[in-house]
Amino acid sequence: MFTEEDYKLIEREFEGLRESSRKRCANDEQYQLVLKAFEFANEAHKGVRRRSGEPYILHPIAVAKIVVDEIGLGCKSICAALLHDVVEDTDFTVEDIERLFGGKIASLVDGLTKIKTALDNDNKNKNLSNRVSLQAENFRRILVTLNDDVRIVLIKLADRLHNVRTIQFMPEYKRDKILSETMFLFIPLAHRLGLYSIKSEMENIWLKYREPAAYTSIEKQLGRINSERGTQIDDFIAPIRAELDKAGFKYTILKRLKTPYSIWKKMTTKNIPFEQIFDIYAVRIIFTPKSSPSEREQCWAIFSMITGLYSYKPDRNRDWVDKPKSNGYEALHLTVMGNGGHWVEVQIRSERMNAIAERGIAAHWLYKDAGLGNEDSEIDHWLQQVREILENPDIDAMQFLDEFHQELVTSSIYVFTPKGESKNLAKGSTALDFAYGIHTEIGNHAIAAKVNQRLVPLSQVLTNGDQVEIITSQNARPRREWLDFLKTSRARNLVMDALKSDKKNCIKEGMEILDRKLDERNITERTRVLKKLIDYYNISGGKDELYNKIGIGVIDLSDLDKALRTNAIRRNVQMWGVKLLSPLRNGSIDKKTEFLLKENIDEGTISFNIAECCSPIPGDSVVAFIENDGTVTIHKKSCPVAGNLASKEGYRIVSAKWSKHFMMSYLARISLEGIDRVGVLSDLTRVISLVLGVNMRQLHIETHDEIFEGFIDLYVHNTDDLDKLIRSLQKVKGIERVKRVENQLS
């Protein structure tokens, strides 16, 4: 039962939503509907608590607040957010919702209920061999709601945001699954729908739990920089204010620090330390546009004022005013040198552009309906492409999920038709992708292309600003080799559709290709190999589907040797073991099972593998996956491969922690950079081998123009040893940078 304090807490939390809803609702009738939805949900969830111990109704209230305050949706969406768990968690039905709140709200709640059911289904299915395709199919069902009503996905993003905000109350195995799903699907989806603040917050929460040490370190350094440079940024802004005032602009200037996740991402992808992240600060100018000239011209006028005050980096200019991003984002970015010797990014937006940047697709449609937006925007084109993927009846769930994820995370380029019409394509697209982007028949009959008036093959990769003309022939037909270079899922699907018309020949050709590959390896046992390949490539339709995909080129067998070794136990497994810290349930591994990673296999242990993709060492935050052969594979929690696995196969996740007495040596790589001098290599090896007693496997150093750089592969016991080694090497004369290198061991 609830206490008096619980009821006061519920009333306080709803008060904030009540005020936001009053402003957002078009009339009193809509506002009263919101109050009715709250009363209904409050009664339906009465007496129920969340894992945190708080009344459950606080979750729907929080989701509704995000829906109205951070996304900007209206009355029906607010009501659906308040009611989104009622059908799933209580005895009320969708029909009850429709009777009380109308068809549209009931439709939104029904879509949200199906999403929640889909995400929970993989936990209930006991047939482990089917879970991979099941979870992919569940994601597909979620994304089908983009076809029904995009508001369903927007409310689900709000729901996911609040769940990760309170993720500390989840058990670890569930945290890993939720965070992996969030990174794989919901963060890219928020980005594609233009919800930058939601995307950034989910990224930072992901980093906080996946790489806690890195998150804490970056937060501390940001705090230090903010205290040191805060007044410098104010001094930097002052002359800009004076110029804007002189020009008669009405404006707001905001200053912000780069997010911990964006800094960590740049540090890891570019393999640079925090000190080499230059654009820590960003300044955002949001102006009220004058009646004339155009918003674009006013953005460039402000750009001119700023470059008259500060020197800028031309290669860092980003014009998303003339060519908005595919999610509708519009702004003008430049990076200038401030008076303190630090680079500062400046973003220039009108109020309309800022609303779209903050609230994404909801604001885009609001301005579009008011006649102020682009009637034929890239976000509309993207949604149409999503519909085409969703409506393809031949694509299986796993292939769909991979293709959709690729569509979400791929950046864009602009190219032009011979008549000067611009077309948006995924970065890395070829001339043939462009042809299929124009029309299916143009792609099917393409034989060559002209790029900037120069004759090129269809495989030519396009770059920003290219002008493309497709040369066709009525006798030309799609060829299997095209699948080797096509980038976009639309083009690949259209080619596969054309090739599938001759499926029998494809199956026969695929069988012949595989037989040749196996004969080359002197493999005669086919039954066992086929089963292994079907599992490895996640084939749901049996050997004919495997042969067909090989025949049409979807599976090129370039990784055949890896597939054949899938269940092989590596050498190092013989020395490493996992001890169960929780009992098995009914003879099988339960999600709450926890593993202790220890050195030796003995009674009560099973073997484990260190994932080669991320090479974790003791001390790293790790996540464990149960393999089909009963072994356990250990990944770093921030490993992209682990994230991909967890998002599709969350049922395999179990908790793992390192033994405190783990003395096995693990291979790690550090990179070095510094000023070359006589004896520097000798000093390095002396510190590593003699002072610290660390064994080296490989050392590679190159010098050029008095600078040296390189890497060293060495054996360490844990992250503490590695950190001590890095600190010691940083003290060697001439060393400028020492850093652990991720995922590059060979």
Same domain, 509 and 403: no
Q: How far apart (Å, rounded) are the C-alpha atoms in residues 432 and 491?
A: 8
Q: Indicate the residue among 545, 564, 583 that finishes a domain.
A: 564
CATH number at residue 144: 1.10.3210.10
Residues 133 and 277 in one domain: no
Please check whether residue 491 lies inside any domain of the structure. Answer: no
Pair (137, 251) in one structural domain: no
Q: Which two tokens stand for residue 513?
A: 């290709």
Whether residue 239 has a cis bond before it, omega within 30° of 0: no
- The torsion region of residue 47 among left (phi > 0), alpha (psi -120 to 50) and beta comes to left
Structure tokens at 721: 């040893």
How far apart, in whole angstroms, are the C-alpha atoms of residue 581 and residue 3?
A: 37
For the chain, the domain total comes to: 6
Q: Are residues 103 and 35 in the same domain?
A: yes
User: Quick check: is 187 in a domain?
Assistant: no
Domain stops at, among 642, 658, 674: 658
Residue 207 inside a domain? The answer is no
pLDDT at 119: 57
Sequential DSSP letters for 136-154: HHHHHHHHHHHHH-HHHHH
- Asked if the structure places residue 196 within a domain, the reply is no
Amino acid 465: pLDDT: 79
**Burial label, 193 (beta-carbon count in 10 A; 0-12, 13-18, 19+):** buried
**Which helix (DSSP H) or strand (DSSP E) does residue 658 occupy?**
strand 653-658
Residues sharing a CB contact under 8 Å with residue 382, sequence separation 6 or more, in sequence order: 192, 326, 327, 407
Q: How far apart are CA 209 and CA 355, in angstroms?
A: 30
Q: In this structure, are 277 and 149 located in the same domain?
A: no
Q: Which residues of the chain have pLDDT under 50?
A: 123-134, 370, 375, 568-578, 580-588, 601, 603, 746
Looking at residue 646, what is its pLDDT? 78
Residues annotated catalytic, as ranges: 88-89
Residues 600, 673: one domain? no
CATH number, domain with residue 323: 3.30.460.10
What is the rounded distance in angstroms from the CA atom of residue 526 to the CA atom of residue 537? 16
Q: What are phi and psi of 556, to 5 degrees?
A: -100, 0
Q: Decide: 497 and 483 in contact? Cβ < 8 Å.
A: no
Q: In what order do the strands lie in the sheet with 696-704?
A: 696-704, 707-716, 666-675, 735-741
Q: Do 532 and 636 share a domain, yes or no?
A: no
Pairing outcome for strands 622-626 and 594-598: unpaired
Long-range Cβ contact pairs of 405-408 (< 8 A, separation 24 or more): 405/184, 405/185, 405/188, 406/489, 407/382, 407/489, 408/185, 408/188, 408/189, 408/191, 408/192
What lies within 8 Å, CB to CB, of 198 at 6+ separation is 66, 70, 71, 157, 158, 161, 190
Long-range CB contacts (within 8 A, 24+) of 413-421: 413/462, 413/463, 413/464, 414/323, 414/464, 414/465, 415/462, 415/464, 415/465, 415/466, 415/467, 415/468, 416/465, 416/466, 416/467, 416/468, 417/467, 417/468, 417/469, 418/467, 418/468, 418/469, 420/467
Last residue of a domain, one of 658, 689, 723: 658
Neighbours of 338 (CB within 10 A): 18
In a domain, 456, yes or no: yes
Cβ pair 447, 473 in contact under 8 A: yes
Domain coverage including residue 442: 392-481
- Give the pair of three-digit tokens for residue 461: 């990769």
Name residues whose C-beta falls within 8 Å of residue 312's C-beta, 6 or more positions apart in sequence.
Answer: 306, 334, 335, 336, 337
Q: What is the pLDDT of residue 559?
A: 83
Same domain, yes or no, for 594 and 541? no
pLDDT tens across 5-51, in order?
Answer: 988 999 999 999 999 999 889 899 999 999 999 999 999 999 899 88
Alpha-carbon distance values, 241 to 376, 519, 570 (Å): 35, 74, 64
Residue 267: inside a domain = yes
Q: Is residue 610 part of a domain?
A: yes
User: Is residue 157 domain-shared with residue 72, that is, in the same domain?
Assistant: yes
Residues whose CB is less than 8 angstroms from the CB of residue 651 and which lie 6 or more positions away in sequence, other chains included = 122, 123, 125, 128, 131, 135, 591
Tell me, yes or no, whether 670 lies in a domain: yes
Query: Is the same domain home to 530 and 467?
Result: no
Decide if 427 contacts 433 (C-beta within 8 A): no
pLDDT of residue 721: 83
CA angle 434, 435, 439 (to 5 degrees): 115
**Does this model's pTM top 0.75?**
no
Residues 163 and 220 in one domain: no
Element (H or E) spanning 321, and its range?
Answer: none
Q: How far apart are CA 248 and CA 236, in angstroms?
A: 20
What is residue 244's predicted lDDT score, i.e. its pLDDT? 95
Residues 424, 412 contacting (CB under 8 angstroms):
yes
What lies within 8 Å, CB to CB, of 527 at 6+ separation is none
Do 587 and 626 reside in the same domain of the chain? yes
List b or e across 97-110, with b for residues whose CB sees 16 or more CB atoms inside 10 angstroms: bbeebeeebbbbbb
SS3 86: helix
> How close are the terminal C-alpha atoms of the chain, in Å?
59
Do 711 and 700 touch, CB atoms closer than 8 A? yes
Angle, helix 131-148 to helix 378-390, in steps of 10 degrees: 130
CA angle 276/228/206 to nearest 5° reads 55
DSSP summary character for residue 696: E
Q: What length does the chain have?
A: 746
pLDDT at 177: 83
| Residues 258, 276 contacting (CB under 8 angstroms) | no
Query: Which CATH number fits the domain that encloses residue 690?
Result: 3.30.70.260
